[in-house]
């Protein structure tokens, strides 16, 4: 199990602060307003789902939260830092050091072993082989990935197993935030439950902050809090509570 002492010992504070976030693409008669004053925050250790139908603005919001895009209005702070005041290099550093991304499409190298796929961010960081493999092994254990498959190529795995590899990869830099974009979108419901159980275990046992983007109610119900977005606005927030949300699946 990966040790996260610095994160666990900090007082609960906001890791995400979105204040009147607006996003417009284009200008003049062709302008499209996608986000219309979105305000919310996420505290360290929370598991939050942002839920909405296609075209609601949730993907655009995900890109802003992940520092892949910037708002055209309002203010976004991640871990207390105002994104609008950061250079491209500083934004890249935040994406690399503070955010672990998990995508619907897995984004694994197909003819590469599971262990090497998970190690890739550390290879780019120049971490020596023995150390990076040890970190990758602990991340795979934390994501409930069976050890007997560590040296299989990713294209030999099921969809659910590939997604758990992607989750492990998101952990190796010990990010402050895991951002999951429709992580069960390519999975059947049973496999999706296993993957969602992995997220719940990371949140409950490791204290990881997770923001999950989804259009599915059953997926959102695994989170502690659900933020509903529609037509670029937050229309409702609801709290599941630890004892009300769906039970963690043993994986």
Judge whether residue 10 has pLDDT over 90. no
Q: What angle do CA 60, 120, 184 make, to 5 degrees?
A: 45
At residue 40, does pLDDT exceed 80?
Answer: yes
Report the interhelical angle of 129-142 vs 114-124 (nearest 10°): 120
> Band of the pLDDT at 244, cuts 50, 70, 90?
low
Using 50, 70 and 90 to split pLDDT, how confident is the model at 240? Answer: confident
Residue 211 in contact with residue 180, Cβ under 8 Å?
yes
pLDDT of residue 144: 87
- Mind listing the pLDDT tens digit for each residue in 198-226? 999 999 988 999 999 999 999 999 999 99
| pLDDT tens, residue by residue, 96-120 | 989 999 998 899 999 999 999 999 9
**Interatomic CA distance for residues 63 and 170, integer angstroms:** 16
Taking a C-beta distance cutoff of 8 angstroms, is the pair 152, 110 a contact?
no
pLDDT at 9 over 50: no
Classify domain 5-12+45-56+97-239 at the CATH class level. alpha beta
Q: Which SS3 state, helix, strand or coil, does residue 160 take?
A: helix
Average pLDDT, the chain: 89
What the block records as the tokens of 161 is 């197993």
Question: Worst-scoring range by mean pLDDT, 42-56, 182-196, 219-233?
Answer: 182-196
Report pLDDT for 124.
Answer: 86
Residues contacting residue 146 through CB under 8 Å, at least 6 positions apart: none
Within 10 A of 91 (CB to CB), how many other CB atoms are there?
Answer: 18
The rounded percent of the chain whose pLDDT value lies above 90 is: 77
Residue 134 has pLDDT above 70, yes or no: yes
- Is the predicted pLDDT of residue 241 greater than 70, yes or no? no
CA dist 40 and 21 (Å) reads 9
Confidence of residue 197 (pLDDT cuts 50, 70, 90): very high
Q: How far apart are CA 3 and CA 184, in angstroms?
A: 27
- Distance separating alpha carbons of residues 132 and 121, to the nearest angstrom: 9
Q: pLDDT value at position 227? A: 97
Averaged pLDDT for residues 47-71: 95
CB neighbour list of residue 5: distance below 8 Å, 6 or more residues apart: none
Give the helix/strand (H/E) hosting 6: helix 5-9
Provide the token pair at 37.
């004053």
Domain assignments of the chain as residue spans, ordered by start? 5-12+45-56+97-239
126-132: long-range pairs with CB below 8 Å, 24+: 132/172
Question: Comparing 6 with 165, which gets the higher pLDDT?
Answer: 165
- Ordered strands of the 209-214 beta sheet: 99-103, 177-181, 209-214, 47-51, 225-230, 233-239
Q: Read off the pLDDT of each residue in 82-109 and give the average, rounded to a whole number.
A: 92
């Amino acid at each position: 199990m990966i040790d996260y002492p610095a994160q666990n010992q900090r007082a609960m504070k906001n890791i995400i602060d979105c204040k009147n976030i607006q996003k417009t693409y284009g200008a003049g008669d062709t302008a499209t307003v996608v986000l219309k004053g979105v305000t919310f925050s996420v505290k360290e250790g929370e598991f939050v789902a942002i839920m909405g139908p296609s075209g609601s603005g949730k993907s655009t919001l995900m890109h802003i939260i992940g520092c892949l895009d910037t708002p055209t209005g309002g203010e976004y702070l991640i871990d207390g830092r105002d994104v609008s005041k950061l250079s491209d290099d500083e934004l890249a550093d935040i994406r690399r050091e503070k955010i672990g991304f998990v995508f619907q499409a897995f984004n694994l190298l197909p003819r590469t072993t599971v262990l090497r796929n998970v190690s890739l961010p550390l290879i780019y960081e120049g971490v020596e082989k023995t150390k990076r493999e040890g970190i990758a092994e602990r991340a795979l254990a934390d994501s409930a990935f069976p050890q007997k498959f560590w040296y299989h190529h990713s294209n030999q795995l099921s969809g659910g197993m590939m997604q758990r590899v992607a989750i492990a990869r998101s952990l190796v830099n010990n990010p402050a935030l895991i951002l999951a974009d429709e992580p069960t979108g390519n999975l059947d419901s049973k496999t999706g439950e296993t993957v969602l159980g992995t997220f719940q275990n990371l949140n409950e046992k490791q204290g990881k902050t997770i923001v999950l983007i989804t259009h599915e109610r059953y997926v959102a119900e695994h989170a502690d809090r659900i933020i509903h977005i529609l037509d670029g606005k937050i229309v409702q927030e609801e709290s599941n509570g630890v004892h009300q949300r769906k039970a963690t699946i043993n994986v």
